Amino acid sequence: MTFNKFIINNEVIFDMNINELQPLTLSGSLVTLNAPTARCLQLFLEHKGKVISREEFLDSVWKTRGVVVSENTFYQNISLLRKSLARAGLSQEIIVTIRQRGFRIAQGTDIIPVSEFAETLPAEADVSLQGGPEVNEIALEVTPVRSKDSQLLNKKEQNGFFNKWSSSLKLSILSLIIVSIMTMANLLILIF
C-alpha cells in the first residue's frame, strides 16, 4: 500500500505529494518544504527508528537524482527541516543526532501513515479500528482545518479572540463597519 501522508505526533500532517507540513492545531502554521528537505523527512518517516547515515541521505536525496552536494548543504537541509517542523506545530524535537553515526526519529514519536486510497470521513464520524494494537495504518483522509486568514497571522494572533470567529462572521462585521463609516461620511457631507 502506498502512503502519501503521515501524521506526526497528532500535531502535523506531512503531505509528500505537495511537500507540505499542515498543522492539526492552532499553534502551528502551514509550511511548504523545498524538495530535498521533503525527501529527507520522507526518508526519516519511512525508516522510523533506524539510524540513517549522512551517506545514506546523500545517496537517497541527491545522488539518485544525479546531484552532488556538499556536506554543508546536507546539514543545512536537516536544520531547515527541524525549524520547519517546529514552525508547523510540533511541540517537541523529533530528529535526533546520533554522534558519528547519523540521525533518526526520536523514540516515542508517533508516526501514522495515511493511505493514498483512503476514504474521506466527516469529522463527526465514529471511527473504530479493527485489528487490535498491531494496526499501524489508518484508512481515512485527515484534512487540517485552516483558512487563508490563519496562514497570514502569527502564532500569538492565531490564539486571539478575533480568530476564533468564522470567516463569514468576520466579513459581516467588516462590511457593517464599512457601511457605518460611509453613512457617517454622507451625514457629514449633508450637514456641511
138-141 and 102-105: which strand pairing? unpaired
CB atoms within 10 A of CB 181: 10
| Beta bridge mates, 12 | 8, 23
Give 191 or 138, the one with higher predicted confidence: 191
C-alpha cell at 165: 470567529
Q: At a CB cut-off of 8 Å and minimum separation 6, what does 70 contact?
A: none
For 73-123, how does the pLDDT look when each residue is reduced to its tens digit (9 = 90+)?
999 999 999 999 999 999 999 999 999 999 999 999 999 988 754 534 444
Q: Percent of the chain beyond pLDDT 70?
A: 70
Q: Span 12-35, mean pLDDT?
A: 92
Instruction: Please give the sequence-ordered ranges of beta strands (E in DSSP) within the chain, or none if there are none.
Output: 3-8, 12-15, 20-23, 31-32, 95-98, 102-105, 111-120, 138-141
Give 143 or 179, the one with higher predicted confidence: 179
